[in-house]
Amino acid sequence: MRYIFICLGLLVLVSCEKDSNMSTNTQEHSPVVAQVGDRQIYESDIDFEIMSLPQSMRYMMQDAGARAQVLDVMIKQEVVAQKAKEMGLHYDPLVAYRMRKAEDEVLIQAIHDWQRQGFKQVSDDDLRAYYQAHKQDFVIPKQIHARHILVADKQTALELLKQLRANPQSFAALAAQFSIDDSTKGRGGDLNWFAPGDMVQAFDKVVFTLNKENPLSQPIQTKFGWHIVEWLGEKEAQTPTFEDVKEEIQSILEKEKIQAWISSLLQDADIEVFKAEYMQ
């Protein structure tokens, strides 16, 4: 029940930045359930509000008590929105821009949904053909697992390296005590898994030469300071199966169709850019 109130509370907050027209249709077939000033709230408006919540909240559609809570939130939204208009806030240029942008975003999402419904279903053969042609794009590169101690100067790094060679088990404790990397020192300097290119070049150049037989690095200087790195493990590059990436390919092909359609709209649109510096 607490989760319901959190979601409903979010609806109140979000409504402060958007026009709160409950419906622009007459909705002859939906009964009026409340009126705030000259605005009527319809039964179907409650349905629409619940439909905008996460899927896990859709059970509220059949729950009379939950529907009453939603209506209470909608009434509060409308009262606040009407007060904002009474104050003339909708004439503020930034507010007016945000209202136009919110309307545009809703319309764009609606037309994307409409366009997807009109797409011919992509066949498994098409999906497999894309997979074969772009298999390299899905390769998960080699990764290593490492941890580090970051300090401000080389001398400190060399002293820590000496201690680590004498007692390799002390790495986490030394990281917690001496590392200036606040984001990792609390977990013993653990950097988790990362691939080539994820870290700065000077760091990458050294750490990907480490291995089980040679797990500790010499001090590495980067723009952040001096690092002592310990190699913890390695994963070889992997190529996922077609089934692993089938849904991702479906999404890619849908996006390509939408982009092609948008490009055709741009070609037919009447567009003028008046300042040369904004022309592309």
User: pLDDT tens digits, residue range 112-128?
Assistant: 888 777 777 788 999 99
pLDDT tens for 158-175 read 999 999 999 999 999 999
CB 71 within 8 A of CB 33: yes
pLDDT over 90 for what percent of the chain?
A: 70
* pLDDT of residue 26 exceeding 70: no
Tokens for 189, please give them: 């300097």
Answering whether pTM is above 0.75, one says no
pLDDT tens sequence across 220-269: 999 999 999 999 999 999 999 999 999 999 999 988 888 888 899 999 99
pLDDT of residue 80: 95
Q: CA–CA separation, 218 vs 73, rounded Å? A: 61
pLDDT at 46 over 70: yes
Max CA separation in the chain (angstroms) = 82
87 burial level (CB within 10 Å; 0-12, 13-18, 19+): exposed
Closest CA to 181 of 208, 157, 202, 216: 157
pLDDT tier, 28 (very low <50, low <70, confident <90, very high otherwise) = low
State mean pLDDT over 209-223: 96
pLDDT at 96: 95
- Tens digits of per-residue pLDDT, 84-96? 999 999 999 999 9
pLDDT band of residue 17 (cuts 50, 70, 90) is very low
Q: How far is CA 166 from the centre of its chain?
A: 44
Which CATH number is 140-235's, of 2.130.10.10, 3.90.1150.10, 3.40.50.300, 3.10.50.40? 3.10.50.40
In 20-60 the beta strands, taken as DSSP E runs, fall at 32-36, 39-42
**% of the chain exceeding 70 in pLDDT:** 90
State the chain's mean pLDDT as an integer. Answer: 88
Is a pLDDT exceeding 50 seen at residue 8? no
Enumerate the domain spans of the chain.
Answer: 2-87, 140-235
